[in-house]
Structure 1
Amino acid sequence: MKRPTMKDVAQAAGVSLMTVSRVVSHNPGVSPDTVAKVEQAVRKLGYQRNVNARNLRQKRLGTATIGLVVDDLANPFYALMARSIEDEAHRRGCVVLVGSTNDEPRREREVIAAFTARQVDGLVLVPTIGSHGFLRTAMASGTHVVCVDRPAEDLDVDTVTVDNRDGARHAVAHLLGHGHSRIAYLGDRYEIWTQRERYAGYLDALSARGLSADPALVRHGLRSHLETRLALAELRALPDPPTALFSSNDLITLGALDAMDGPDDPDGSRTAGQPLPMAIVGFDDLPLAKQLDPPLTVVSQDPVAVGSTAANLLFSRIAGDRSAPRKVVLLTRLVERRSGERPGHRTDHRPGPPTAPR
């Protein structure tokens, strides 16, 4: 059966081809009665707009789709970032395909291969660890790439990040300023660029106070609530436990809060709702941070600004911008709410030089 065309719709509605085009493109200037006639003809004929044909007429030669590849869409930061990118795409009549990698290079390649096979016009990519030179083939075929949250190894493309190191430094300096010197660090995999930057900021803040990191207070590689709970239990069982905690991302923060929202000792001497056993500052804000008891002090980065900046760079490239790759670094801010302001006890504890991550 022949697929109905815009010309068929115009004949059925008794209007010009230009009028049909304006109605299906949602352009203003068409009377409500005429819009109703055209829409009735569209429904009756089963007409569907041919986006690829429209792109060809506009010499875009694209598919009006882009791909977004993130670590974990369940992460609140990436969810908000994805929505921001989707909003930018929607304004341009584009669709966003989304895939998660769980920070696994093999899975990342599979998702990217699936997207490029669908001839997406571009990719917004949160890179996993390892070389990304393999993307040059897709780029040579016309797929534009913008990296977000982290730079990609072996690939010179537009990149949007935040100042992770400075944000972490401010967080730990804040805890030091409230009298804490035994400050624990809970982090994701050290191989991830953002985690290395945040750990460096942790060390910077300690060093500025003449302190060295105590390896007993540092935990890397935490990828689940269970791992975070176990790490926190180990820290609290130390002969000289930490009085404060810096958490390197929102999922680890949630795991730490969950672990602290219960009995402090095996005999159940602390119950849910009592004050947290240590001060805590987390990197990344949380939707319910203000409603926690106490409200959560965080290093806040703006996922909406990160996403919209990356999307605008990508659409600029798709539109023909061939200037040198840009490196955009957005600022963070420390949001003081109370969980990081619990006073500690100043000590002269100096446990020795930093060691390699665990």
Structure 2
Amino acid sequence: MPGPHDPHLGRPPREPRSGQPTLRDVAERAGVSAMTASRVLRDDPQVLPATRERVRAAAADLGYRPNEVARSLRLGRGTGLVGLVITNLANPFYSRLALGVDSVVAEHGLKTVIGNTGQDPDIERALVADLLARRVDGIIAVPACADQRHLAAAAADGVPVVLASRPPEGFAADCVLVDDFGGARDATARLLARGHRRIGFLGSPPAVHTGTERLRGYAAALASADLTVDTRLVRQGQTEPHEATRAAAELLALPDPPTALFCSNNRNTIGAFRALQAGGGTQVALAGFDDFELADALGLPLTLVAYDSDEVGRAAGRLLADRLHGAAAAPPRQIVVPTSLVEYGT
């Protein structure tokens, strides 16, 4: 006979409503109350074994998945989600950064939700607003520009925010940076040591922190050799290889072309390589920021600034995890990932 906690036992199960099956659908399929179905799915040991089997079978038949976000909020916990906002998922650096973040937050039972901005500040603001509406536990962001008011507002509302590749502007937050200045200075100095005096620069948009810092490092190396930056040899704004190919071709077509090129990221280095191959200018020395897969197979001397891009993500993940687990009131921290030079084809 049905127990007092199974008032619906014996009713013919109705077909579930269209769309995602609900807890009530499971209860009606199993012939129990929604309360009993909930207790079974929460592993309540007080429910009779036969009832547990019926409810679990009904859930499996219907393909029911509990809404963990709603359940966590009802229990006063977070959603278990971390928002990761990046500028260009096609760039291997950001892919590795994302893997680094995910490897750390997963150890804390968190899942990563990734949003790609395409370097568009408006898209970034919309993504952050959407993540906040979804009640993420924290946000790790690679900001597209210096206007970070939306991130500052999130932090002011108590959502932990960690920045990667760019320092916070207008508010205090943890951040993880790469030694952009030092790496660019060292790579340019290596070209200078090999006798080059006309060194072209291919970089990302001026609004990008990494591009600005790497241009500054390039200029500092030139200054140490008593040289000034020749603006005719500088091209900024390239975010994809085809844009860098065109910019490099412009430099190589100058009446007095550069004898070497320094590229501020892997997308520019790949584009410059294509321009050198197409124009027969493989005698032009090439250096760049970011090591990348198959760099050793290009068949020309190549100096690259290398660093652990996974560690950028891991460090950001650790900073966020610390904020979520007791360090909410600690002063903001900044971590700088070091760089080194690697040589290929020499």
Q: Normalised by the shorter chain, which TM-score bucket?
A: 0.7 to 0.9
1:233 corresponding residue in structure 2: 249
8 Å contact kept, 1:9–1:41: no
- For residues 206-232 of structure 1, give each alpha carbon's deviation from its aligned partner in whole angstroms, at most 9, with x where no partner exists: 111111122221111223333322221
1:27 corresponding residue in structure 2: none
Say whether residues 1:336 and 2:343 are aligned partners: yes
8 Å contact kept, 2:82–2:136: yes
1:281 positional shift: 0.9
- Of the three residues 201, 210, 217, the one matched with 1:201 is 217
1:70 corresponding residue in structure 2: 86
8 Å contact kept, 2:286–2:301: no
1:102 corresponding residue in structure 2: 118
Spell out the pairing of 1:117-196 with structure 2 (5 A cutoff): 117-196=133-212
Taking only aligned residues, the RMSD between alpha carbons, in angstroms, comes to: 2.9
8 Å contact kept, 1:183–1:243: yes
1:277 positional shift: 3.0
Say whether residues 1:293 and 2:299 are aligned partners: yes
Aligned to 1:261, the other structure's residue is in SS state helix
Aligned to 2:344, the other structure's residue is in SS state coil
Residue correspondences, number: 310
Separation in 2, partners of 1:285, 1:306: 14
2:105 corresponding residue in structure 1: 89
1:302 corresponding residue in structure 2: 308
* 150-159 or 87-96: bigger deviation: 87-96
The residue identity in structure 1 corresponding to 2:310 is: V
1:317 corresponding residue in structure 2: 323
8 Å contact kept, 2:248–2:271: no
Separation in 2, partners of 1:163, 1:136: 24
Question: Alignment identity in percent?
Answer: 41
Separation in 2, partners of 1:222, 1:74: 14
What TM-score comes out, normalization by structure 2 length? 0.80
Aligned to 1:254, the other structure's residue is in SS state helix
1:254 positional shift: 1.1
Structure 2 unaligned regions, length at least 5 = 1-23, 28-33, 48-54
8 Å contact kept, 2:179–2:339: yes
Separation in 1, partners of 2:80, 2:40: 28
2:235 corresponding residue in structure 1: 219
Q: 1:97 to 1:53 in 2, by over 3 A?
A: closer
8 Å contact kept, 2:285–2:301: no
Separation in 2, partners of 1:313, 1:277: 45
Aligned to 1:66, the other structure's residue is in SS state strand
8 Å contact kept, 1:105–1:130: no
1:44 positional shift: 5.4
Aligned to 2:278, the other structure's residue is in SS state coil
1:19 positional shift: 12
The residue identity in structure 1 corresponding to 2:331 is: A
1:288 positional shift: 1.3
1:356 corresponding residue in structure 2: none
Q: 1:9 to 1:131 in 2, by over 3 A?
A: closer
1:43 positional shift: 3.5
What TM-score comes out, normalization by structure 1 length? 0.78
1:282 positional shift: 0.9
The residue identity in structure 1 corresponding to 2:229 is: A
Aligned to 1:335, the other structure's residue is in SS state strand
The residue identity in structure 2 corresponding to 1:334 is: L
Spell out the pairing of 1:267-286 with structure 2 (5 A cutoff): 276-286=282-292
Larger Rg: 2
Separation in 2, partners of 1:139, 1:126: 15
The residue identity in structure 2 corresponding to 1:331 is: P
Separation in 1, partners of 2:165, 2:70: 35
Separation in 1, partners of 2:192, 2:45: 68
Q: 1:131 to 1:10 in 2, by over 3 A?
A: closer
Aligned to 1:336, the other structure's residue is in SS state strand
1:285 positional shift: 0.9
Aligned to 1:262, the other structure's residue is in SS state helix
1:314 positional shift: 0.7
8 Å contact kept, 1:246–1:280: yes
Question: Whose relative contact order is higher, 1 or 2, with alpha carbons under 8 Å and at least 6 apart?
Answer: 1
Structure 1 unaligned regions, length at least 5 = 21-37, 265-269, 271-275, 342-358
The residue identity in structure 2 corresponding to 1:170 is: D
* 238-247 or 292-301: bigger deviation: 292-301
Separation in 1, partners of 2:225, 2:153: 48
8 Å contact kept, 1:9–1:45: no
Q: 1:314 to 1:335 in 2, by over 3 A?
A: same
